[in-house]
Each structure stands twice: as structure tokens, then as C-alpha cells.
Amino acid sequence: MSFEDIIQFKIYHRLILAISAFKLSIAQKPEQENEFYVINFLGAKIYEAPSFEAKVLKTLSVGKFILIEKQISTEDRFIIKERFSFEVNWVKPNNIDGYIFSSDLTNKKVELAKNGNGLKELNFLGELIDKK
């Protein structure tokens, strides 16, 4: 396995984890159905139109809280690798001009933390409330 293959594998692995976490999080009812947080480590890009070909206006950092005005379903597919893709949905945030790829968001509050190896990771569990 080449160095590029290892890096590519790590990127795919993190993307799959993020997508899985998002799918799991939407299965649980949030306090407010329009409250979301950026889950993508690289940030959530805000596109001028609901399309990956549209101009990127800016990027929101991981953990950023946003309110959603509406969700937009499309026929588009996000291609990760040959024969590996998923449906693309977009969201229109309140008070932000542009659109965000829905898989960059979760409705569960996340915190950026460091794991035991000192690497950044997303904490979906929140703070420890009863340490024994």
C-alpha cells in the first residue's frame, strides 16, 4: 500500500464515520429541528447555489452552530470513489447567503477534542457528568 493509498483510506474512513454519525444523529429527535452544527473536520463550505460546481463563498469551522431555514432534496450524487456515492441534499441556513451540503452537518452538539494520541476528534457525548 502506497503512502497516497494510506492517506486516501484515512480520508474515506473519516468521511464514512462522519456520514454514519450524521445518519445516526438524524434518527434522534433534536430539541429544535432546525438547529445544526458543522461536523466536517475541514469545515462546511457555503456554496452560492445548491451545487458542488457553484462558487464557494466561505467555510464554516467544525462545531459552528447554525439554524436551518429549509432543506433541499436533489437528484445529485456525491461521488467518493468509483461505485461509491450517496444522495446529495442541501440546506439553506438562516441569515447566511448560500447553501451547505447536508452531510457536513449534524443536529447533535459536537465538541472538538483530542484523543489519547493527541489527534483531534469530534466528541458527540458531551462532558462527563458523573465521574466515579
Choose the weakest-confidence range: 28-32, 41-45, 46-50, 126-130: 28-32
The residues, ordered by sequence, that sit 6+ positions from 103 with a Cβ below 8 Å of its Cβ are 18, 19, 22, 40, 78, 86, 89
- Give the residue-averaged pLDDT of 67-81: 82
pLDDT value at residue 32 = 62
CB atoms within 10 A of CB 131: 5
The confidence band for 121, taking pLDDT boundaries of 50, 70 and 90, is confident
pTM check: above 0.85? no
